[in-house]
Structure 1
Amino acid sequence: MADIALGSVGKIVQIALKIKEAVETVKQNEKECHDIQRCVARVSALLRKLDEMTETMKDEVMRDALEDLAESLERALELVTECQRKHNFRRFLGAGNMAKELGRVQDDIVRKLQLGNFATSVQTITIMVTNIQSAAGPPPPPPPPPQRRVIIDGFTMFSLSELKAATENFSDGNRIGKGGFGSVYKGVLQDGQVVAIKRVYDTIDIDGDIRLYDEINVSVDLKHKNITRPLGYCHEVTVVLISHNGKYVGAQQREMCFVAEYMANGSMEMIMNGSRFIDWSCRFKMIQGIAQGLHYLHEQRVVHMDIKPDNILFDSDMNPRINDFGLAKKLDLDEKTSDTLDGTLYYMAPEYMYQGIMSTKCDVYAFGITLLGTIIGSMSMSSSSVSRVPNQWAFEARDDLRMELFKPSLCCKSQLMQIKKCMEIGLLCVEEDREHRPTMADVLAMLNGVKELPALKRPWGIE
């Protein structure tokens, strides 16, 4: 078998010599013919070099690959020979068509060399391809960088084509989340940056546009270590053909995307429900980070309105980041009223649920529920029975006599006291009357031990 492969190399070398001789006397398409000759000469030289590598040429796969390559070289020889006959093209209409055919056969030679197993290392393959490209002329320039328009420093308008390329056309394999307004995809931009891309569901409703721009207006200026950083957006409109009242008409279809930093360690929901146990010291850092992020938002007069474990993401350093500002609002006053009910019921403050009142205290309530869930999840011996009413369970369990509800192997006495304090802070945050809830500045002060906790009342809705 090796003899056959080695014989094919000899055949290719002979064809290369014939092409060289023919090119010296061509009458038409001289440039294309000389390009062919240089390419074939390089192929011949490289294969002669590999001829010395007997182990490589013993591969059975080499036979078919070399024979395919030899066929293309024979075709190149036939075309170059045709070009020797000035004004006598028997098989082609003219020099222009011949030039195209010469270009095609040269591309075919390069393709077959790349597809063939003609080297034993990636380094050798790289050298071969580079040499062939240089023989045929300078390599094509790299694709130009995508045209982007910088709206604000660090915030860019992306094209839909770039985001499709980054996500393999928004493939299911790249989808990392799904919500009420769209799906979130992991994407890799042309420069290698990994991002998260929220693609808003296809819409022709102008309200969809408004909601997207609300999110941009709220989040574009936010800069904090516990807030995901927005990178840009995409908004393109195309006209599509649809059937309407028995006729085909053109309709506008809007594509809207929101691009943000990619968080490598997923969401708090995934982490808390995962197989890996998270010790109390890590949980406490999570609680502190979320509180710091919310305090920053409230200083900017932003209310998030959907704080929950799904919307807390973790970066590569396990730093918690508040994410998804699709429902967030900027407040001109301390509160505002909404006619719609958006969000996650389990985390909704009662005044918003029943009266539509939106304020920073809605976030405080959701933080309280999230905090209590962070304490209970897999640290309690009875966590499965308390997930629906964490405030009632926490109110009872905070008593020192009830701390045996926690697995003794998971935390020491000092940590139990810290857990008790966090329980009480969580219960303060879920007070029915929003006026009795602390601010996030108060929460941080209590977490850091610089402010005393007020007396607790029995949680609302509990007998």
Structure 2
Amino acid sequence: MADIALGSVGKIVQIALKIKEAVETVKQNEKECHDIQRCVARVSALLRKLDEMTETMKDEVMRDALEDLAESLERALELVMECQRKHNFRRFLGAGNMAKELGRVQDDIVRKLQLGNFATSVQTITIMVTNIQSAGGPPPRPPPPRSQGEVIIDGFTKFSLSELKAATENFSDGNKIGSGGTGDVYKGVLQDGQVVAIKKLHPIRGFDHCRPYDEINVFVDLKHKNIIRPLGYCLEVTMVLAIYNGKYVGAQQGEFCFVQEYMENGSMENIMNGSRFIGWSCRFKMIQGIAQGLHYLHEQRVVHMDLKPQNILVDSDMNPRISDFGVAKKLDLGVEKTFDSSIAGTMHYMAPEYMYKGCVSTKCDVYSFGNTLLGTIIGSMIISTPPNISELIQWAFEARDDVRMELFKPSLCCKSQLMQIKKCMEIGLLCVEEDKERRPTMADVLAMLNGVKELPALKEPYPYINTE
């Protein structure tokens, strides 16, 4: 183990690869070892992506957190290597204890990533890591795009790229109104004068050309007042020169765009960062609307997977509209959860069981909703400086009691509204429970918001530790 230096993302990736190699030949505790390998591969891929996307990971303040995390990965490697030694009689007899120890070290890895500065420093970044087969293998070569001869549904149009370029002045920076992990969003004006929002997907390494059709299949039939309405799409394919196995080959490259309703009031992010003040009554109406939209999605077996203020738009009547289904998933009938080999979403809003284990269920959206709800309450409503996003859960738990409610500006809330704020804080805290089984469903959330269901007892969240 001495040859593995601590304190860098590269070394963590090396440890992850060693764990993968060791797991392939384990003789006991195979399930626990494979769970460790899956968790470590996701952690490694996540850190590599963050390292590529932001200079923050190279900051001096990250060193201790990375070293601490690497120590736990080295311990995991030691345990997995012990599980290779089937003929060591004493260790083999201790297989049950070894399983517990493997579980403990996996929990330790998860905890250290949660308590480090990683999510704090890159909270606004949307992560896209596809096809995690190993910690360091290259992504698969993308398949060719499907035929352009798609059936067009009423109200859903296929646009040409030239039409959308004309509508956005060739996707000019002046028309850009948003950016995310899957693409940039532009304001556009179609030939008939209709104002629309156009999302132009990023061309990314290992991009799956079938993915946009998966997104269309998820959202095209959704019809709800709190879900953004899709208007159409664009696909144009060109031939480009590419290198494959050391040789130049012809490859197809697709330009993909989605067209949807334009919301002049922007996103809920504007409310949370205080650039536009919105009173509590309006905020509560928005919280209810988001809950209704999310409940509808879950009834359709759709998991959004990237619910956050940036992806909640506000119409002219201040109604919230859930948007951006670029990483959404549709669950099979009767299936509550599945396991995903990719990571997609925004770190602070990702449910822990998805981030570290790839477990997908409607409870992932419930976790994201909880963080969004707490941020919606706090944004520009309190007298003191809003808490850092990484401290939000602990702060809300401590501030929810009547004694601390003086933190809210008295001119903005009456006594009955303060009680409503307290209840919403508690609902948000229930939604961000680390154990997904303790989180409510969105049906439960609506019932609690509407006062027809009692709130269960809260469990104190794991305390945030500042590593600076």
Flag whether TM exceeds 0.5 (same fold): yes
Q: Which runs of no fewer than 5 residues in structure 2 stay unpaired?
A: 1-148
Cα deviation 1:34-89 (Å, max 9, x = unaligned): xxxxxxxxxxxxxxxxxxxxxxxxxxxxxxxxxxxxxxxxxxxxxxxxxxxxxxxx
Equivalent in the alignment of 2:42: none
Q: What are the within-5 Å matches in structure 2 for residues 63-462 of structure 1?
A: 151-202=152-203, 207-240=207-240, 251-332=251-332, 333-461=335-463
What's the offset of the Cα at 1:357?
0.4
**Cα distance change on mapping 1:328 and 1:243 into 2, 3 Å:** closer
What is the CA–CA distance in structure 2 between the aligned matches of 1:360 and 1:449, rounded to whole Å?
A: 22
**Matched ranges for 1:39-78 at <5 A:** none
Matches of 2:242 and 2:298, distance apart in 1: 45
Cα shift at 1:181: 2.0
| Counterpart residue type for residue 375 of structure 1 | I
Q: Cα deviation per residue 1:432-461 (whole Å; 9 max; x = unaligned)?
A: 111111100110111011111111111234
Kindly indicate whether the alpha-carbon contact (under 8 Å) linking 2:272 and 2:378 is maintained by their aligned counterparts in 1.
no
Query: 1:345 and 1:248 mapped to 2: Cα distance?
Result: 38
Once the two structures are TM-superposed, the CA of residue 155 in structure 1 deviates from its matched residue by 1.1
Q: Which moved more, 1:187-196 or 1:238-247?
A: 238-247
User: Paired residues, what number?
Assistant: 315
Q: For residues 268-292 of structure 1, give each alpha carbon's deviation from its aligned partner in whole angstroms, at most 9, with x where no partner exists.
A: 1023324332111111011011001
Name 2:81's counterpart in structure 1: none
Cα distance change, pair 153–200 in 1 and its aligned pair in 2 (3 A): same
| Contact 2:234-2:256 at 8 Å conserved across structures | yes
Q: Judge conservation of contact 1:367–1:429 (CA < 8 Å) in 2.
A: yes
Identity of aligned residues (%): 77
SS in 1 for 2:345: coil
* TM-score of the pair, normalised by structure 1: 0.64
Q: What is the CA distance between 1:239 and its match in structure 2?
A: 2.7
What is the rounded CA distance, in whole Å, between the counterparts of 2:227 and 2:427 in structure 1?
22
2: CA distance, partners of 1:202 / 1:452: 48
How far the C-alpha of 1:197 sits from its partner, in A, is 0.8
CA deviations on 1:154-203 (whole Å, 9 max, x unpaired) are 11111111111111111111111112222111111111111111111236
Q: How many Å separate the matches in 1 of 2:350 and 2:246?
A: 45
Shift of 1:388: 2.4
CA distance in 1, matches of 2:331, 2:247: 46
For residue 203 of structure 2, give the secondary structure of its aligned residue in structure 1: strand
Q: Partners of 1:404 and 1:393 in 2: how far apart?
A: 14
- The alpha-carbon deviation at position 208 of structure 1 amounts to 3.1
How many Å separate the matches in 1 of 2:199 and 2:294? 22
Separation in structure 1 between the aligned mates of residue 285 and residue 246 of structure 2, nearest angstrom:
61
**1:121-163, Cα deviation, whole Å (9 max, x unpaired):** xxxxxxxxxxxxxxxxxxxxxxxxxxx9861111111111111
Q: CA deviation at 1:242?
A: 7.3
With the length of structure 2 as denominator, give the TM-score of the two structures: 0.64
TM-align CA RMSD: 2.3
Summarize the Cα distance change of 1:250–1:257 in structure 2 as closer, same or farther, 3 Å threshold: same
User: Using the alignment, how far apart are the partners of 2:320 and 2:421 within structure 1?
Assistant: 19
Q: 1:383 to 1:362 in 2, by over 3 A?
A: farther
Q: Is contact 1:365–1:429 with CA below 8 Å preserved after alignment?
A: yes
Using the TM superposition, give the Cα deviation of residue 241 of structure 1 relative to its aligned residue in structure 2, in angstroms: 6.0
Q: Which residue of 2 aligns with 1:14?
A: none
Structure 1 residues not aligned, in runs of 5+: 1-147
Contact 2:272 2:376 in 1 (8 A): yes
Return the index of the structure with the highest Cα Rg.
1
Shift of 1:250: 5.2
Provide the secondary structure at the position in 2 that maps to 1:391.
helix
Q: Aligned-pair distance for 1:245? A: 11
